[in-house]
Structure 1
């Protein structure tokens, strides 16, 4: 995936910048920057790419990224429908390494933050507990705050996150941020093609050709950079789409399977149960919202 260098533009006299995004979908390209970044997903779902890790994201996720760690959030397909029927929203705080060093070196009380800044080199994901959810929700307020208030609120949030036991690493232990134009451009082509064609049959030779690699080289390349096989990633993407269709439409299970790229119904059932723990029909019964009767 091609990682673009983003110019954050903190400007003189600013330690951090707060950005509030709202739209039908998240459309930022795969990118990196020398600043740290904390992203709070207010609403929206899809796939998150951080370093060599790919996984689903959802509302309430908090992610802390270290400098030059390539990343992007890609909304699920339903967010791209026209006219738009879903909304995506996030609050992003970007801050310089100088700010981190000054806080840790100049204010001894902030030394408790050292572990999360060191861990941010691999990316950290938090799922705040109920008691701390107000700290995550507070991220939605900084755009209306003064710069000084933003810094105070941000530091308070970081101190709360240090106490969170829900944090986990994203990129693998051996991963080192090293954006490379050729490699990232190749991954961009792979993911773009997959997102466009995952409902169809994608052969290994086909996707390897997109990456300009032999089949064997492609399999090694993809596993090294995502920690999963391409087939596993493709199935995860398809099952994720199937879950959405089962909950949001009245399509039969067989039709859902076909719409998600599974021509073999029994294979679809096996994979769906492996990923969710339920059969497609049971999943729909558990999670589909009841249809309200129309007023007479």
Structure 2
């Protein structure tokens, strides 16, 4: 089964991304991404799938997943049926953690932690209890406090025993892990869209940036991002327009042009289809505030759009 490629959005000038997930049950969502993922699951019991490792998990399950290893949790039963299941997910890029350990000898153990996590690690109950003690800092509104808490938790984990999960063969194409350079090629395209969305972006231009043919880019985009190239570009443009509508007093025609729409009529039609308001009504409804889904920094309770779309199918 092919794993969905999840694009983790960190926001501007952020080293870590934290996702506070609360829901009645955890659905099976087989996916992968190029970041490390540390996940603490609470009030949940079910099965955990990490590469070719399948295990039953219970309260306060704490796991570190390496980059590009497919994984998911699946549960339809809470331990306490009156409360939601909770997952605290921490994503981070291994490259900066290694650089940080290089210049700060006090955190040298982080390099060994990442090496040990090559096939995933499951930590003992004491580790999850320690992470729970840091929840206030991990979920703090101040990104610096969150970063300090993540470093403290990772440093603590680097000193603890943990059980490896997947086997090295779990990275084979047969398990659904990425077998080529699709994530890197798609990231080049996504970066180009994110910076040039206000300009025309023909498929041929994006294909050249990715090094793929137009047909291959279209196929990989649908497979890994979960929607067509055109729909993704429109979503980025609408998001930018939402910010301008709530943060500025610019005329609708100017906002349309600066968001990449060639004419106001097309902008109005696309905006209403996406937000169920006309741009003017949206401005009245949300004047002075940004909706969480359009923040430059993703909200702690907001998940990756690629998996939201997958779940909605």
Bucket of the pairwise TM-score, normalised by the shorter protein: 0.5 to 0.7
Q: 1:168: which partner in 2?
A: 163
The answer to whether residue 62 in structure 2 is matched with residue 65 in structure 1 is: no
Q: 1:44: which partner in 2?
A: 44
Using the alignment, how far apart are the partners of 1:133 and 1:40 within structure 2? 7
The answer to whether residue 157 in structure 2 is matched with residue 144 in structure 1 is: no
Post-superposition Cα deviations, 1:224-267, rounded to whole Å, max 9, x if no partner, equal: xxxxxxxxxxxxxxxxxxxxxxxxxxxxxxxxxxxxxxxxxxxx
C-alpha distance 28-7 of structure 1, shift in aligned 2 (>3 A): farther
Using the alignment, how far apart are the partners of 2:128 and 2:25 within structure 1? 24
1:54 Cα deviation from its structure 2 partner = 0.3
Tell me the TM-score normalised to structure 2 length.
Answer: 0.51
Using the alignment, how far apart are the partners of 1:152 and 1:184 within structure 2? 34
Using the alignment, how far apart are the partners of 1:15 and 1:117 within structure 2? 16
Using the alignment, how far apart are the partners of 1:105 and 1:163 within structure 2? 17
Unpaired segments of 5 or more residues in structure 1? 186-296
What SS does the corresponding residue of 1:99 show, helix, strand or coil? Answer: helix
Given that 1:104 and 1:113 are in contact with CA atoms closer than 8 Å, whether structure 2 keeps it comes out as: yes
Given that 1:18 and 1:93 are in contact with CA atoms closer than 8 Å, whether structure 2 keeps it comes out as: yes
Using the alignment, how far apart are the partners of 2:85 and 2:128 within structure 1? 19
1:43 Cα deviation from its structure 2 partner = 1.5
Q: 1:124: which partner in 2?
A: 121
Using the alignment, how far apart are the partners of 2:52 and 2:87 within structure 1? 22
- Total equivalences in the alignment: 174
Using the alignment, how far apart are the partners of 2:60 and 2:116 within structure 1? 20
Given that 2:51 and 2:175 are in contact with CA atoms closer than 8 Å, whether structure 1 keeps it comes out as: no
Using the alignment, how far apart are the partners of 1:136 and 1:102 within structure 2? 23
What SS does the corresponding residue of 1:136 show, helix, strand or coil? Answer: helix
C-alpha distance 139-71 of structure 1, shift in aligned 2 (>3 A): farther
Given that 2:70 and 2:176 are in contact with CA atoms closer than 8 Å, whether structure 1 keeps it comes out as: no
Cα RMSD over matched residues? 2.2
Given that 1:91 and 1:139 are in contact with CA atoms closer than 8 Å, whether structure 2 keeps it comes out as: no
1:139 Cα deviation from its structure 2 partner = 4.7
1:105-124 alignment to 2 at 5 Å?
105-124=102-121
Given that 2:52 and 2:175 are in contact with CA atoms closer than 8 Å, whether structure 1 keeps it comes out as: no
The answer to whether residue 11 in structure 2 is matched with residue 16 in structure 1 is: no
Using the alignment, how far apart are the partners of 1:56 and 1:28 within structure 2? 14
Using the alignment, how far apart are the partners of 2:134 and 2:47 within structure 1? 22
1:97 Cα deviation from its structure 2 partner = 2.2
1:1-296 alignment to 2 at 5 Å?
1-27=1-27, 29-76=29-76, 78=77, 87-129=84-126, 134-141=129-136, 142-165=138-161, 167-172=162-167, 174-178=168-172, 180=173, 184=176
1:153 Cα deviation from its structure 2 partner = 0.8
Given that 1:48 and 1:55 are in contact with CA atoms closer than 8 Å, whether structure 2 keeps it comes out as: yes
